[in-house]
Structures are given as structure tokens and as C-alpha cells.
């Protein structure tokens, strides 16, 4: 009955309709390739002849091999310096004349130097084999490829000149001649190595590799019906698919395309609705939480479409698993993962490698659910990065291993993107506090901090009103236990219980649990005055909560924990003293009626805990009667008419209270007194 009432709220369907409409508008306007195929499986369609000319794309492994080959072919770039030759030869001739060098020898050296300088001299070459090596030489504004073997080095020029002189002039002492003319000083490199240009040309050569190898012409056979799809055929099909999508895109009618998108999106949105319905239907009762879920879903969808449009490879980068951290901050963990899996469905549908991306991000989300609760403080949060990265990397590598071994290529950029993905999951987590503000939600981390009795407000409560503080702790335990029994938010109700009576700090002695022995605060007050002071603690509590910036959801507990009930003790006293029974207003709390399960539990726990202190004997019967009477009175005076709780849940809460109170106030063992024998003789 309760579920039916929730589902009658038309606003829920409006929100889902808005989500679906936005997704349809943003859906990529392209159709799907009409053939599905897999390597190692037979071709199940009719024989396929190419309807168009298309280039054959190289595989990743072929591209990688070509890049490696290009990388090994480093071509050095040199600039020819024409001024070196004339300077060197002129200097040699002057020295030869001044040192009376034989004219024949001088002329031979000059001619050879001129020839060598024309071909070019470098300082040296590496020790690699240069027989097949070429270099680029810029000479007279023209760049030419020159075999490295035709170019001289300083040492090879020096050795050549010495050998030629020894051969042409046998009677000359080469060493003596060299001491006179210092031959090596005139051998100066005129090919200057340009390192920056060499690196640039090398990079361009590696980067610019043709992605195609050959052409398939229209009418040419691609694959026959029943033929096994080999690696070569799959390469042809991949090439045909890429060219078909580029040249033709979607060839059907626009109406058919949009209709298909509408059905796909509607199915995804319907799955999201059904998942929330069965995982945590209470989300439908909280409009802010529902809008928060749908907003996260739409953001995930927007980034999927946006990144797919730019470059599908960027989808490895987006941290979908952050959705898990955002939702687990505000919702029960049992409902987070099913909703998260539905959030990943658009990735699977839109991307060509959707199954791989779905698995990668599913594993990332599952790992976070397991690890984040244990490593969520300080630097330990970044341990989650290591766990997530290891998990997604394992899935990514597994998919790669499922390809043919000869085509197995590790995309370094994918590893980098997955690393950014894992880091971003934790880096983006602080946005949860922004969502707290925007949607007026309270995260579990903040609730956990608020339960710390060392925080200033609770410390002040314990100091000023020790009796109220102990009462609040007992109510918190009682309410938390009951909330677990009916599937309510146990952490939230505990926080509400710990702060529900903070207003009593403004007038501690007004409340019996804080009165010192001999103090009778209400002795000289009329019933109306006493009721006024008692009732005021709700408004005082709200003011104090706002002063300490407590969340609205906690303030609602303060407002609703007495609802619109009466201070029966002083109302009955007023009536017994001759007052008008119809004059209930001065004795009625001006609060709000509880609406959520958690608010109902707190109202009942507060009343039961306070009343249980007045029992003279804590038997099973007396406790049961007390709980039944208090909860029946709350039902009879219409305190729960706005509450989102079933009679079944109320009865479950009753039994939880009875069990818990019985355990607290169980019977104690009466210790027997020791008998003393006065007649015992102590003399030795």
C-alpha cells in the first residue's frame, strides 16, 4: 500500500520524462553499422561485396612496426659552410710559401683539399655502420640527401692526404713534413650538424606514417556467407566500417533513426526507474535526492556523448566511478551499485568498445565500494587510487589479450588515460560538499562527524545539561536500533536523537533530569507557566542549531520530536485545578508533524525512553504495556497522519523498543550477605 502511494506521485514521472527528453536531444546523430562480426566466428550474413571504394586501414601492430622502423632510421641534418674551404686553403698556401714547401706537394694538397671540402667534412660519425646511412645537407638553399660514405671526417681526410703524399712523393718524410705545415690544422669541418632540425625531421618522419595500405574497389569481394572471419577479413571489415561511417553515416530515414534513439533511451531510463524502485524506493519520497541521482546520471551521459564526439579513446579517461563516491555519501551502499551499473549503460550503447568500457568502470566502482569505507581518511584516500588502477588495468589487459597475438598492441596513451581516471576519482571527491550545499543533503561523512561527542555543541550539552545528554544518548541508541529493523537511515536518526533536546541548555533546571537535589523549578509556577517554559526548548533548540550551522534535516528533528502533542502533566494539573479542558493551546507544542520514518522513530523513542524512567518494576509485561500505551497515544492524537511509515513498520519499531529496554533494565543479581559466626573461637 505504501509503495502504491509513493508511485502515485506524478512529479516522479515528470522528472524521468525530462531526463529522457534531454538524452534524446543529445544522443549522437549517427546510426550503428549494420553488421556484427567477430574474429574466429563465421560470417552469418549474405556474401558482402564492397559497395564503395575504400582504403585498407593498417592494424595497430602494423602502425607500431612502421613507427619502430622509422625511429631506427635517424637522418642527421647538416648545413654546408662555404667560407670554411677558402679560409683553410688560403691559410695553407700562405704557410706553404713561408715554409718553402715543395710546389708539387703544395699543389697536390690544395687540389685534394678543394675536392674534399666540396663533398663535405664532418667532425666525426658515430661508430655505427654508415655504408647504408644517408644525411641531409643544406647547400645553397637546397637540401639534398647525401650518402654518409661519400662525406669525409677530419680523421679520414687527414689519413687520405698523408697516404696520397706518401704514394705521389715517395722520397718525402711525411712526419717531418707534417711537423712543418701542421696539416690537420687546415682540415676544418664545413658540414655543421643542426641538432634541433634533425630532431624535428625525425619526429615528423615517425609521426607521419600512412594509416592505409592498398584499396578495395567497388564490387570486390570482402567476405562470403559462412566464411570464417580471419584477422585479414576482420581488417577489411574494420576498414569498410570506418569508411562507410565517414562517407555515408546513417543511410536510413531520419524518422527511423530518431525512433530508434527514443526506444533505446526510454529503455535505459525505464531501467533506472525500476532499479531505484527495487533497490531503494525511499529515494522517490525525497525530491532532492531523486533530482541529485538524475543530475549525476545526466552529467555522466553528457560527458560520454561529448568525449565520444571528440575522440572515443578519451572515454578511458573519464572517472565514471566517482558516481559511486558521490552516491554512497548520501545513500545506502546496497542501492548504490545497481544504480551505478545503469548509469554505465549509455557508454555501452554509444561507444564501439562499449563492453570493454562498461567492464572497466564496473570494476572500478566495485573496488571503490569495497575499499573507500576503509581508506577514506587523510592520505589513505589515495590508496584507493592504487586499488582502482590495478583493477581497471587488469580488465583492460584482459580484453587486449583476447585479440590475436600477432595484433596485440599496448596503447601507451590508454595506460595514461586509465591512470588519470583512477586519480580523478579521488581528486573529484571533494565536490560532494558542493552537492551538499546545492541539494541541501547531508553526507554520511558529515553525519559521522556530528556523532562525535567531543564536538563543541555536544560538549556544551554534556556540561550544562548532563541529564539531558544521557537521555539523548539513550534515545540515540534506542532509535538507531529501531531504524535498522525497518530499513530506515540509522545514522541520520542517531544524529537527530543526539541533538533533538539541545534547546534545554538555555534553561536546564526546567527539566527534571537536570535538577539538582532539593531544586523544585516548577514549585511556584502555574501549570501554564510551566508548560510555556517546557515547550520553549523546541524554539530554543532551533535557534541554537542555526547558530551552530546544523543541517536543515537535523533542525527538522528538533521541530518534529514533539510534533503537536501536549505537555500532559501540566495540562492534567491545569484541568484538575479547575481549568477549561478546551484550552489546550498553551499546553501544545508548536512544532511540525513528523513526515519521514526517521522523524517518527525519534518521536517515539524520545517518549518511550523518558517514560521508561518512571517504571517502578522493569518486567516484560510492564515494559510492553508502557511502549504500547505511548505509541497508541501518538497514533490516536493524529501525530503520525503525515508520516511516511506503515503500521507494519510501527509494530516492528514497538517490538524493537521493548526488546532494547528489557535488555537495558534487566534484573540484577541480589548478592547474599555474609553470615558472621560470633561464637567462633579465635584463640590459638
Residue 570 sits at the vertex; the CA angle it makes with 564 and 571, to the nearest 5 degrees, is 60
Enclosing domain of residue 592 = 464-664
Does residue 448 sit within a domain? no
Contact 418, 397 (CB under 8 A): no
**pLDDT exceeds cutoff 70 at 672:** no
Task: Give the closest residue to 640 by CA, choosing from 570, 597, 593, 591.
Answer: 593
574 and 427 share one domain: no
Domain boundary among 142, 160, 192: 192
Give the integer Cα–Cα distance in Å for 116 and 654.
107
Q: How far apart are CA 348 and CA 361, in angstroms?
A: 11
Residue 265 scores a pLDDT above 70: yes
435 & 490 share domain:
no
| Res. 682: pLDDT tops 50 | no
| Inter-residue contact 585 to 494 (CB < 8 Å) | no
CATH number at residue 643: 1.10.3210
Tell me the torsion sign for CA atoms 83, 85, 86, 92: positive
Q: Does 7 fall in a domain?
A: yes
Q: Is residue 113 domain-shared with residue 173, that is, in the same domain?
A: yes
- Domains in the chain, number: 3
Q: Extract the C-alpha cell encoding 145.
A: 640527401
**Single residue among 439, 474, 494 that ends a domain in this structure:** 439
Give the DSSP H/E element, type plus range, for residue 273: helix 254-279
Question: Is residue 478 domain-resident?
Answer: yes
Last residue of a domain, one of 139, 166, 192: 192
Give yes or no: residues 512 and 629 share one domain.
yes
CB atoms within 10 A of CB 424: 16
Number of H helices, E strands in the chain: 28, 10
Residue closest to 191 by CA, chosen among 275, 57, 85:
85
- CA distance linking residue 508 with residue 537, whole number of Å: 10
- Radius of gyration over every alpha carbon of the chain, rounded to an integer in angstroms: 44
Mean pLDDT, rounded, for 393-402: 85
The answer to the question of residue 162 being in a domain is yes
Asked whether residue 413 falls in the same domain as residue 294, the answer is yes
The verdict on 433 and 505 lying in the same domain is no
Which is it for the CA torsion 417, 422, 423, 428, positive or negative? positive
| Residues 497, 425 share a domain | no
428 and 511 fall within a common domain: no
Specify whether 415 is located in the same domain as 506: no
My answer on whether 355 and 410 are in the same domain is yes
**Could you report the per-residue pLDDT of 37-90, keeping only the tens digit for each?**
777 788 888 888 888 888 888 877 777 777 766 666 667 888 999 888 889 889
pLDDT at 683: 41
Q: For residue 411, with 0-12 CB atoms within 10 Å meaning exposed, 13-18 middle and 19 or more buried, which class applies?
A: middle
Question: Is residue 151 included in any domain, yes or no?
Answer: yes
Residues 6+ apart with CB under 8 A from 423: 385
With beta carbons less than 8 A apart as the criterion, state whether 415 and 301 touch. no
97: in domain: yes
Is 300 domain-assigned? yes
Residue position matching grid coordinates 564503395: 52
Pick the closest to residue 256 from 76, 32, 37 (CA basis).
Answer: 32
Cα separation of 316 and 419, whole Å? 9
**Is the pLDDT at 409 greater than 60, yes or no?**
no
pTM (2 decimals)?
A: 0.61
Cα–Cα distance between 481 and 475 in angstroms, integer?
A: 10
For the stretch 507-526, pLDDT in tens is 989 888 888 777 788 888 99
CA 149 to chain centre: 58
CA 479 to chain centre: 34
Determine whether 22 is exposed, middle or buried from the number of CB atoms within 10 Å of its CB (0-12, 13-18, 19+).
middle
Q: Is the pLDDT of residue 480 over 70?
A: yes
One domain for residues 156 and 276 = no
Report the distance separating Cα 654 and Cα 502, nearest Å.
Answer: 26
Do residues 606 and 475 lie in contact, with contact meaning Cβ atoms separated by under 8 Å?
A: yes
**Segment 481-501, tens digit of pLDDT:** 999 998 888 889 999 999 999
User: Residue 642 burial (CB < 10 Å; 0-12/13-18/19+)?
Assistant: middle
In a domain, 205, yes or no: no
Residue 309 has which C-alpha cell? 564526439
Instruction: Report which of residues 369 and 62 the model is more confident about.
Output: 369
Q: Do 487 and 435 share a structural domain?
A: no
**What HEC string does 335-378 produce?**
HHHHHHHHHCHHHHHHCCCHHHHHHHHHHHHHHHHHHCCCCCCH
Interval 427-441 mean pLDDT: 84
Which residues 6+ apart lie within 8 Å of 665 measured at CB? 612, 615, 618, 623
Amino acid at each position: 500500500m505504501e509503495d502504491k502511494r509513493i508511485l502515485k506521485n506524478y512529479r516522479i514521472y515528470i522528472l524521468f520524462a525530462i531526463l529522457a527528453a534531454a538524452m534524446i536531444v543529445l544522443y549522437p546523430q549517427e546510426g550503428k553499422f549494420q553488421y556484427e562480426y567477430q574474429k574466429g566466428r563465421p560470417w552469418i550474413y549474405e556474401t558482402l561485396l564492397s559497395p564503395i571504394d575504400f582504403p585498407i586501414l593498417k592494424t595497430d601492430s602494423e602502425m607500431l612496426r612502421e613507427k619502430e622502423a622509422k625511429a631506427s632510421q635517424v637522418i642527421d641534418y647538416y648545413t654546408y659552410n662555404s667560407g670554411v674551404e677558402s679560409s683553410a686553403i688560403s691559410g695553407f698556401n700562405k704557410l706553404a710559401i713561408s715554409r718553402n714547401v715543395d710546389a708539387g706537394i703544395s699543389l697536390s694538397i690544395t687540389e685534394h683539399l678543394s675536392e674534399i671540402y666540396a663533398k663535405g667534412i664532418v667532425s666525426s660519425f658515430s661508430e655505427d655502420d654508415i655504408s647504408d646511412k644517408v644525411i641531409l645537407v643544406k647547400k645553397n638553399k637546397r637540401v639534398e640527401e647525401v650518402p654518409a660514405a661519400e662525406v669525409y671526417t677530419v680523421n679520414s681526410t687527414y689519413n687520405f692526404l698523408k697516404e696520397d703524399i706518401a704514394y705521389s712523393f715517395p722520397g718525402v718524410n711525411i712526419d717531418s713534413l707534417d711537423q712543418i705545415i701542421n696539416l690537420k690544422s687546415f682540415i676544418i669541418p664545413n658540414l655543421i650538424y643542426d641538432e634541433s632540425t634533425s630532431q624535428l625531421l625525425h619526429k615528423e618522419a615517425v609521426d607521419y606514417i600512412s594509416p592505409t595500405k592498398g584499396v578495395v574497389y567497388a564490387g570486390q569481394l570482402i567476405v562470403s556467407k559462412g566464411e570464417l572471419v580471419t584477422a585479414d577479413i576482420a581488417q577489411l571489415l574494420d576498414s569498410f566500417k570506418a569508411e562507410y561511417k565517414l562517407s555515408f553515416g546513417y543511410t536510413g530515414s531520419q524518422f527511423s533513426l530518431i525512433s530508434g534513439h527514443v526506444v533505446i533511451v526510454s529503455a535505459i531510463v525505464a531501467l533506472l526507474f525500476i532499479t531505484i524502485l527495487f533497490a531503494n524506493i525511499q529515494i522517490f519520497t525525497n525530491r532532492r535526492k531523486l533530482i541529485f541521482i538524475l543530475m549525476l546520471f545526466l552529467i555522466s551521459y553528457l560527458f560520454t556523448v561529448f568525449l565520444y564526439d571528440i575522440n572515443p579513446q578519451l572515454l578511458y579517461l573519464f572517472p565514471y566511478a566517482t558516481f559511486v563516491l558521490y552516491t554512497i555519501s548520501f545513500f545506502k551502499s546496497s542501492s548504490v551499485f545497481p544504480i551505478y551499473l545503469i548509469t554505465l549503460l549509455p557508454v555501452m550503447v554509444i561507444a564501439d568498445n562499449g563492453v570493454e568500457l562498461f567492464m572497466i568502470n564496473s570494476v572500478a566502482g566495485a573496488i571503490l565500494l569495497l575499499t573507500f569505507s576503509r581508506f577514506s581518511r587523510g592520505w589513505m584516500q589515495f590508496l584507493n587510487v592504487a586499488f582502482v588502477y590495478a583493477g581497471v588495468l587488469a580488465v583492460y589487459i584482459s580484453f587486449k589479450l583476447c585479440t590475436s597475438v600477432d595484433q596485440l598492441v599496448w596503447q601507451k596513451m590508454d595506460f595514461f588515460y586509465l591512470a588519470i581516471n583512477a586519480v580523478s576519482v579521488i581528486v573529484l571527491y571533494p565536490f560532494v560538499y558542493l552537492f551538499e550545499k546545492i541539494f541541501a543533503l547531508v553526507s554520511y561523512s558529515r553525519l559521522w562527524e556530528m556523532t562525535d561527542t567531543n564536538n563543541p555543541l555536544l560538549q556544551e550539552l554534556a556540561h550544562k545539561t548532563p541529564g539531558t545528554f544521557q537521555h539523548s544518548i539513550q534515545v540515540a541508541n534506542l532509535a538507531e536500533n529501531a531504524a535498522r529493523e525497518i530499513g530506515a537511515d540509522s545514522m541520520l536518526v542517531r544524529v537527530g536523537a543526539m541533538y533533538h533536546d539541545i534547546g534545554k541548555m538555555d534553561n536546564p533546571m526546567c527539566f527534571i533530569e537536570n535538577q539538582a537535589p532539593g531544586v523544585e523549578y516548577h514549585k511556584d509556577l502555574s501549570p501554564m507557566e510551566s508548560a510555556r517554559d517546557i515547550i520553549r526548548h523546541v524554539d530554543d533548540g532551533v535557534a541554537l542549531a542555526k547558530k551552530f550551522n546544523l543541517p536543515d534535516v537535523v533542525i527538522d528533528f528538533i521541530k518534529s520530536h514533539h510534533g503537536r502533542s501536549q505537555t500532559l502533566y501540566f495540562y492534567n494539573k491545569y484541568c484538575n485545578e479547575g481549568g477549561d479542558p478546551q484550552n489546550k493551546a498553551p499546553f501544545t507544542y508548536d512544532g511540525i508533524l513528523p513526515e519521514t520514518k526517521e522523524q517518527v522513530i525519534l518521536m517515539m523513542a524520545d517518549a518511550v525512553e523518558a517514560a521508561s524512567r518512571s517504571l517502578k518494576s522493569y518486567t516484560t509485561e510492564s515494559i510492553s504495556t508502557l511502549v504500547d500505551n505511548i505509541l497508541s497515544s501518538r497514533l490516536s492524537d493524529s501525530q503520525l497522519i503525515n508520516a511516511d511509515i506503515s503500521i507494519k513498520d510501527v509494530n516492528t519499531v514497538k517490538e524493537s523498543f521493548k526488546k532494547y529496554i528489557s535488555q537495558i533494565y534487566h534484573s540484577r543479581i541480589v548478592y547474599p550477605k555474609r553470615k558472621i559466626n560470633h561464637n567462633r573461637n579465635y584463640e590459638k
